[in-house]
Structures are given as C-alpha cells and as structure tokens.
C-alpha cells in the first residue's frame, strides 16, 4: 500500500460511512465520498460537523481538515486514485456485489477494498471484483471515529498480503485491528456481545433480575475491568500468583456447571415488553440526551487514558 498516497474513498455515507469519513479526515487524509441516496451529501457534511469537536479533543493529525472532504455523484470519480476504499453500503449481497464490481473497475489495481459489513461473509461478494484478492472485511465497532476496534477478515480469495496491509493501515491510524482467521457470522465482538445479551434476556424472562439490575451488574462490575483488559487476561489476574492455570484447575469445573445452566431464549412479544418497560423504568428520571453526552465525554477520557497506558495490551 502506498502510504504517500493520502486519498481514501468512502462508498456509502450513512452513519457508519460518515463516521469512517470523519476518522480518515482527522488522520490527515483526503476523503472522497459517494452515496446514491437523495440528500446524502448534505447529511454527510452535517454528520462530520457533529463528530468533529470530539475528534478535535482527541487530537487531529497534522494537516487534518474537514475541507479535505469531497463528495462525488459518480462512484468511479470517488475511488479513482484511492489507496483504500472503505465500503459501507446496505447489508445486501446483491448490492455489495454490484458495488464491488464498480469499485474494482475504477480503483487503482493496488488499492485495498474493505467492506464494513457486519453480517455478509466477504467470500460471498469478493469474486464480483476484478481483483478479489484485495477485497476483505474491515468491520469497525460503532462509531468508527471513536472506537478503536477493527475486525479484519479475509475471504477464500483474499491474499495474505492484503490482510497484512489492512492490519498495518488500521494500526497506523490509531485503530486496534484484529485478524479473524475464519469467516463466522457476526465476526468476534458481536458474537461475544450476543452471548452476554442472550443470558441477560434469559435472566429477565426467568424473573431472576430486573433490567436495571442487570445493567448495574455489568456497568459497575465486570464491565469496568473489561474496558481495560479482555476476558482471558481478566481470568489470568483472577487466578492470583498461579494465573490462568490455577484458575482453570480450581474454577474450571464450576464454570462448566454455569455454562450448562445458561439459558436458551427466543424473543417474543411478552419478553420484548418486559425489556422495553424495564429500560423505560431505568431511564424515567434521566434525560437521555444528557446521559449520552456524559457517556461520550467519559468515553473520550477513557480512550485517552488507555492510549497512554503502555502496560496494557
């Protein structure tokens, strides 16, 4: 990948695409965006304007400017000369295949083509491209302009070189990329979230705990540690001097009993009402806008602290 080339194309400028565009702009790139939806250009600039104060607080790269954002009605014009194309269009295989064909026909032969898809395996769309070996998943954790995680997944035709270039690029703009070695539904982070949500929904359905108590259990318990270290390192530290080896020996059997007792749950109108009513009850004395603003402010502080913590992986 030519790192002297400072042009990135963003194809699809909804919430995710606009957040990517803001992220790339803040890192000092020229961003050429395109989206066929009516009013897309105005919405893109509005979203970037909304994100920019937070990005300024995080710290802009030298030369970073919103003025380096351009919008193109024509997809070919947007991707021409780009080092990276970040596609964030609708989650439909037919649309993504058509988009990949259009991108690969106009982008430079050495440009990476990354899709933000959270649910469509790249193997189902990459063969529509002229150079399928350079097509891969670059799935952000929402919102991309704030959250560092990017999940990089190759398909059956993706080259190892493209994977390495993607990993290197995302790392170079301050992201925390991980390489997912097999295509699985939901990648990794969303699967881990889904596992927690399944048990949380089950506990509500069974009347074990209220919605607000479950939120408290995570936000004021393990969530505090999970924000700093992942599940395996937290297990290791819980094992004391013996580390994860000691923990697996002594807490492994009880953990297997808990796994066997975890619930299976299916969404249904009654459970949905319990969840909705529970959230309404939890928020009854809270202004949601103020809560979100405070959450984002604390998130920014946490991200800065984590970035300066050289002993945390």
DSSP label of 262 = P
Separation CA 78–CA 32 (nearest Å): 5
Query: Does some domain include residue 107?
Result: yes
The residue from 127, 156, 180 where one domain ends is 180
User: What are the structure tokens assigned to 196, written together?
Assistant: 């927690």
Look at residue 1 and tell me whether its pLDDT is greater than 90: no
In a shared domain, residues 133 and 251: no
Mean pLDDT of 248-269: 96
Query: Does some domain include residue 186?
Result: no
237 and 229 in contact (C-beta within 8 Å)?
yes
Looking at every residue in the chain, the average pLDDT score rounds to 96
User: How large a percentage of the chain has pLDDT more than 70?
Assistant: 99
Look at residue 4 and tell me whether its pLDDT is greater than 90: no
pLDDT at 5: 75
In a shared domain, residues 152 and 81: yes
pLDDT at 2: 53
Could you tell me the residue range of the domain that residue 123 belongs to?
7-180
The residue from 121, 148, 180 where one domain ends is 180
In a shared domain, residues 210 and 132: no
Look at residue 3 and tell me whether its pLDDT is greater than 70: no
Structure confidence by residue, pLDDT tens digits, 184-208: 999 999 999 999 999 999 999 999 9
Query: Does some domain include residue 1?
Result: no
In a shared domain, residues 170 and 234: no
CA 173, 179, 183, 184 torsion-angle sign = negative
Mean pLDDT of 31-48: 97
Look at residue 181 and tell me whether its pLDDT is greater than 70: yes
pLDDT at 300: 94
Look at residue 95 and tell me whether its pLDDT is greater than 60: yes
In a shared domain, residues 171 and 87: yes
Separation CA 294–CA 300 (nearest Å): 10
Nearest to 300 by CA among 116, 62, 61, 53: 53
């Amino acid at each position: 990948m030519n790192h002297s080339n400072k042009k990135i194309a963003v194809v699809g400028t909804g919430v995710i695409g606009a957040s990517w565009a803001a992220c790339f702009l803040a890192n000092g790139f020229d961003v050429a965006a395109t989206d066929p939806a009516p009013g897309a250009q105005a919405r893109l600039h509005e979203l970037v304007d909304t994100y920019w104060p937070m990005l300024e607080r995080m710290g802009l790269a030298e030369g970073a400017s919103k003025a380096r954002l351009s919008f193109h009605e024509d997809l070919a014009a947007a991707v021409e000369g780009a080092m990276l194309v970040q596609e964030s269009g609708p989650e439909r295989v037919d649309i993504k295949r058509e988009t990949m064909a259009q991108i690969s026909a106009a982008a430079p032969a050495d440009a990476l083509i990354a899709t933000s898809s959270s649910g469509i395996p790249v193997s189902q769309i990459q063969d529509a491209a002229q150079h399928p070996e350079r097509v891969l998943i670059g799935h952000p954790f929402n919102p991309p302009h704030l959250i560092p995680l990017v999940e990089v997944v190759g398909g059956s035709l993706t080259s190892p070189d493209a994977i390495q270039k993607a990993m290197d690029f995302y790392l170079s703009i301050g992201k925390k990329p991980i390489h997912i070695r097999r295509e699985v539904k939901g990648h990794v982070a969303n699967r881990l979230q889904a596992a927690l949500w399944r048990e949380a929904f089950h506990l509500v359905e069974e009347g074990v705990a209220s919605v607000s108590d479950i939120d408290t259990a995570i936000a004021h318990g393990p969530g505090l540690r999970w924000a700093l270290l992942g599940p395996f390192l937290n297990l290791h530290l819980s094992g004391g001097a013996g580390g994860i080896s000691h923990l697996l020996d002594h807490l492994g059997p009880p953990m297997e009993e808990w796994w066997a007792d975890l619930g299976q749950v299916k969404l249904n109108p009654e459970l949905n009402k319990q969840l909705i009513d529970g959230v309404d009850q939890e928020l009854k004395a809270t202004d949601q806008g103020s809560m979100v603003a405070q959450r984002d402010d604390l998130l920014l502080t946490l991200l800065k602290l984590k970035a300066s913590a050289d002993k945390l992986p």
